[in-house]
């Protein structure tokens, strides 16, 4: 079984206004889920608009992350108040929590991404973390959200840093899926990989223009936010679990074990993981193109003010056995790093990260 996409997608300017009549038909008593105080106004608007349609609406916030503590507290709120659905309005952690809660309680989830930092508004997947933001596991869900509302006016209110993070995460799709899945003899998977290549090209062409000119009337901005929030999700939907993540996300997951919570976005950490994955490919798979890819990516990442080293994520890998801790977690048995088509040992990861962090990255 494969859930390729949300059942209904509203996109563009005023997508929310267009979605209201449909949502009012589908549900009567939603819980609106959020987290950041910066998006309070938008969630209040969503709540007001639905109350005007005579829906019985409540709201609740994540206290920490998409973690068991928050999930079980929110589950009780939904059950006690007989909510018939979840509207998750926020970034990746909020969207993942809303989808996971809805799956556990067998009620529909409506996702309303409030930034372009993630494709979590689309996918049938939730990442579970500890309350301190340490990655625990990915949970595949039975289906994608019932409705996805990708309102450009909402997304425009997000800081440009969220867009840069979404670009880094979406770029990883090509570099991870092409190396793990290119030998899979399944037409849909191959086509998903091709879409991720087109997605990467779009971001290389439009990403910087979108980051610098965050306007709805800028076609580069529209293309880029839709690439990060929609197309990246479509790649996951069509490719399914065979269109896999690899070292970039494995290294992200490892870094979350030691990084202070909520200081950096998912995509910012994945971007660093992506550069390290390419170094691993160069070293272990003799991939001469990997170095070119690093140069190409570094140029864009510098222009988007994205971190390009673990040091820039606030971690000195040469202290507190951090290097060991990252390598250990990245190479644990169930890690995605082992989807790479060549063997990776803990020592390889230590070596690549140590070299990488010692280099001064000067490409501008």
Which residues of this chain interact with Zn ion, rule CB under 5 A?
169
108: region left, alpha or beta (phi > 0 left; psi from -120 to 50 alpha): beta
Please check whether residue 352 is in contact with residue 251, taking contact to mean a CB–CB distance below 8 angstroms.
no
**Beta-bridge partner residues of 59:** 32
Give the residue with the Cβ less far from Zn ion, 169 or 348.
169
Give the residue with the Cβ less far from Zn ion, 246 or 353.
246
Give the residue with the Cβ less far from Zn ion, 169 or 282.
169
Give the residue with the Cβ less far from Zn ion, 70 or 336.
336
Q: How far is the CB of 346 from Zn ion (least distance, A)?
A: 23
Q: How far is the CB of 248 from Zn ion (least distance, A)?
A: 8
Q: How far is the CB of 118 from Zn ion (least distance, A)?
A: 7
**Residue holding tokens 């038909």?**
25
Spatial distance between the Cα atoms of 239 and 172, rounded to a whole number of angstroms: 14
**Residue holding tokens 């200081």?**
263
Please check whether residue 111 is in contact with residue 120, taking contact to mean a CB–CB distance below 8 angstroms.
yes
Rg (CA), the chain: 20
**Beta-bridge partner residues of 34:** 61
Q: How far is the CB of 226 from Zn ion (least distance, A)?
A: 17
Q: How far is the CB of 274 from Zn ion (least distance, A)?
A: 10
Q: How far is the CB of 355 from Zn ion (least distance, A)?
A: 25
Please check whether residue 139 is in contact with residue 202, taking contact to mean a CB–CB distance below 8 angstroms.
no
Spatial distance between the Cα atoms of 273 and 270, rounded to a whole number of angstroms: 5
Task: DSSP for 264-305, please give it.
Answer: S-HHHHHHHHHHHHHHHHHHHH--HHHHHHHHHHHHHHHHTT
Give the residue with the Cβ less far from Zn ion, 169 or 268.
169
Q: Which strands form 30-34's sheet, in the order they lie side by side? A: 8-12, 147-151, 109-113, 85-90, 30-34, 58-61
Give the residue with the Cβ less far from Zn ion, 16 or 100.
100
CA angle at 234 for the pair 30 and 100, rounded to the nearest 5°: 35
Spatial distance between the Cα atoms of 97 and 74, rounded to a whole number of angstroms: 9
Pairing mode, strands 8-12 and 147-151: parallel
Give the residue with the Cβ less far from Zn ion, 62 or 170.
170
Spatial distance between the Cα atoms of 221 and 215, rounded to a whole number of angstroms: 7
Q: How far is the CB of 254 from Zn ion (least distance, A)?
A: 14
Q: How far is the CB of 198 from Zn ion (least distance, A)?
A: 18
Spatial distance between the Cα atoms of 127 and 208, rounded to a whole number of angstroms: 28
Q: How far is the CB of 11 from Zn ion (least distance, A)?
A: 21
User: Closest-CB residue for Zn ion?
Assistant: 169
Give the residue with the Cβ less far from Zn ion, 34 or 236.
236
Give the residue with the Cβ less far from Zn ion, 85 or 196.
196
Nearest to 10 by CA among 155, 118, 142: 155
């Amino acid at each position: 079984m494969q859930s390729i996409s949300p059942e209904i997608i509203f996109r563009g300017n005023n997508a929310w206004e267009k979605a209201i009549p449909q949502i009012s038909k589908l549900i009567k008593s939603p819980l609106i889920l959020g987290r950041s105080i910066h998006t309070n106004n938008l969630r209040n608007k969503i709540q007001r608009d639905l109350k005007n349609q005579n829906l019985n609406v409540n709201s609740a916030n994540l206290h920490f992350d998409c973690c068991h503590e928050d999930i079980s507290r929110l589950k009780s709120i939904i059950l006690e108040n007989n909510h018939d659905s979840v509207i998750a309005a926020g970034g990746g952690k909020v969207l993942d929590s809303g989808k996971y809660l809805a799956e556990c309680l067998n009620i529909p989830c409506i996702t309303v991404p409030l930034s372009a930092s993630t494709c979590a508004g689309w996918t049938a997947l939730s990442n579970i973390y500890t309350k301190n933001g340490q990655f625990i596991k990915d949970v595949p869900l039975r289906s994608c959200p019932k409705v996805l509302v990708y309102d450009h006016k909402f997304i425009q209110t997000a800081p440009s840093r969220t867009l840069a993070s979404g670009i880094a995460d979406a770029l990883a799709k090509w570099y991870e899926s092409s190396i793990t899945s290119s030998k899979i003899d399944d037409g849909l998977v191959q086509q998903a990989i091709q879409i991720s290549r087109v997605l990467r090209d779009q971001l290389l062409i439009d990403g910087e223009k979108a980051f610098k000119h965050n306007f709805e009337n800028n076609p580069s901005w529209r293309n880029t936010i839709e690439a990060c929030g929609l197309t990246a999700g479509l790649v996951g939907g069509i490719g399914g679990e065979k269109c896999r993540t690899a070292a970039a996300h494995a290294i992200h997951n490892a870094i979350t074990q030691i990084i202070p919570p909520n200081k950096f976005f998912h995509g910012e950490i994945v971007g660093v993981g992506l550069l390290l994955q390419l170094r691993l490919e160069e070293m272990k798979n003799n991939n001469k193109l990997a170095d070119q890819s690093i140069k190409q990516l570094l140029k864009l990442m510098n222009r988007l003010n994205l971190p390009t080293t673990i040091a820039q994520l606030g971690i000195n890998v040469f202290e507190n056995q951090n290097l060991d801790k990252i390598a250990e977690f990245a190479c644990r048995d169930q890690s995605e790093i082992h989807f790479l088509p060549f063997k990776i040992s803990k020592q390889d990861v230590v070596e690549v990260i140590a070299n990488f962090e010692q280099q001064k990255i000067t490409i501008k």
